[in-house]
Amino acid sequence: MPSNLSAIKKIAISTGGGDAPGLNAVIKAVTVSAIQRGWDVLGIRDGYNGIMFPEMYPDGGFIRLTRETVRGITHLGGTILGTTNRNDPLHFPITNQQGEVEFLDRTDEIVRAFKLHSVDALISVGGDGSLAIANALHKKGIRVIGVPKTIDNDLDKTVITFGFDTAISFATECLDRLHTTAASHGRVMVVEVMGRYAGWIALHCGIAGSADVVLIPEIPFDIQIVAKKIIERDEGGHNFSIVVVSEAAHPIGGNIIAKPQTGRQELLGGIGSVVANELEQLTGKETRLVVLGHLLRGGSPTAFDRLVALRFGAAAVRALSEGMDGVMVALDPPNVRYVPLEKITSRTKKVPLDSDTILTARDLGICLGDQT
Ligand code: F6P
């Protein structure tokens, strides 16, 4: 440990943003690895709500994590600490006397709470929003390690985030199931999946689940081309089609469908319904819509996600014990590495158009909406 860093006795862990399968595995790995080093571990309730609104919690907003509290949670979806994608302490929304929304920086309250509870370091598990908060706390003198999380796999500087494999495994199973009913009825099934502004989930489940069409935000689509693909399949003797649509997919020259929200990210979704209606009209084929939505965020993490999450949690604690500060754990196969938090931007990691995954989809005859 560098001589300018005091010994750690107590750490805190927070899970923020939308949940992802594997969060509990991170909590388990952090807790056990820290206890092995003789440290105490506090879990903060619901992102930073436990600190900003302690009166709402019978336990004061912190839960003491012990071997007992984290026993048997590796395989559980969700997070035992709770999470939120509201109440960002860096941009906390309040309504002023004129009825306008203003944003406050409440991170000083977190710094004060850490002093009050003798917390020596924080492990912050979350997406780009949570990592920006972690960086702000680091700049205010808190020792912080970030752990990236999202089912969308759209975070920069890490090859993969846990939660993604579970999401695509479940979506793939859904596509398998939809094949049989689509074939029996000779229908078009349109399946809308999450993913925010990147098409990783749609592309990966679409290829693994043998979709006929995959529409992703990185490739604006022409609905006429999609309809042509379906009609050609019909003419070739395949009377059904499976169309996977990412929530931010949009037509050439058109907009993403999004609902603005106050003090939090806009809500995406609805493009599946538009695509389904248009395809029914253009092809004359009976079409049904399935929106997988939050089903992709639930359930037990796959073995792959459990392993990534456990490796990230243990690596975060190792980083602290080796004197690191202000870094994010990242997967750079076959290794875990550390990236300075200040290098993490809110830039979305998009699917590269020249990636072998895109080429694979095209080689398999999957229509990506720009050519049949
Ligand atoms: O980032 C994860 C994610 O599940 C996105 O794919 C989706 O757009 C968003 O969260 C939905 O968030 P919520 O419904 O929890 O506000």
Report the CATH number at residue 183.
3.40.50.460
- At residue 3, the pLDDT reads 44
Please identify, by atom number, the ligand 1 atom nearest to the C-alpha of residue 297: 4
Distance 14 CA to ligand 1 centre (A): 18
Burial 168-195 (b: 16+ CB within 10 A, else e): bbbbbebbeebbeebeeeebbbbbbbbb
What is the percentage of the chain residues whose pLDDT exceeds 70?
A: 99
Distance 143 CA to ligand 1 centre (A): 29
Distance 330 CA to ligand 1 centre (A): 21
| Judgement on whether residues 147 and 175 belong to the same structural domain of the protein | no
Q: How far apart are CA 190 and CA 196, in angstroms?
A: 18
Q: If you average pLDDT over residues 182-196, what whole number do you get? A: 98
| Judgement on whether residues 204 and 240 belong to the same structural domain of the protein | yes
Whether residue 314 lies inside any domain: the answer is: yes
- The DSSP bridge partners found for residue 147 are 125
Select which of 19, 46, 128, 152 is catalytic: 152
Whether residue 49 lies inside any domain: the answer is: yes
In this structure, of 94-98, 113-117, 219-223, 279-283, the range with the lowest mean pLDDT score is 94-98
Residue nearest to atom 13 of ligand 1 (CA): 18
- At residue 210, the pLDDT reads 98
| Judgement on whether residues 127 and 146 belong to the same structural domain of the protein | yes
pLDDT digits (tens, 9 = 90+) for 289-322: 999 999 999 999 999 999 999 999 999 999 999 9
Residue nearest to atom 2 of ligand 1 (CA): 18
Cβ–Cβ under 8 Å, residues 207 and 364: yes
For the chain, what is the domain count?
Answer: 2
Strands 241-246 and 267-268: unpaired
Residue nearest to atom 8 of ligand 1 (CA): 196
- The DSSP bridge partners found for residue 122 are 12, 144
| Judgement on whether residues 193 and 103 belong to the same structural domain of the protein | no
| Judgement on whether residues 94 and 180 belong to the same structural domain of the protein | no
Task: Provide the 8-state DSSP code for 251.
Answer: B
Give residues (CB < 6 A) around ligand 1. Answer: 18, 85, 150-152, 194-196, 247, 268, 297
The pTM for the full model equals: 0.95
Q: Note if 156 is an active site residue.
A: no
| Judgement on whether residues 146 and 227 belong to the same structural domain of the protein | no
Whether residue 201 lies inside any domain: the answer is: yes
Q: How far apart are CA 239 and CA 187, in angstroms?
A: 7
- What angle in degrees, to the nearest 10, is found between the helix axes of 23-36 and 303-321? 40
| Judgement on whether residues 312 and 250 belong to the same structural domain of the protein | no
| Judgement on whether residues 42 and 154 belong to the same structural domain of the protein | yes
| Judgement on whether residues 44 and 98 belong to the same structural domain of the protein | yes
For residue 221, give its domain range: 166-297+352-363
- The DSSP bridge partners found for residue 348 are 155
- At residue 6, the pLDDT reads 72
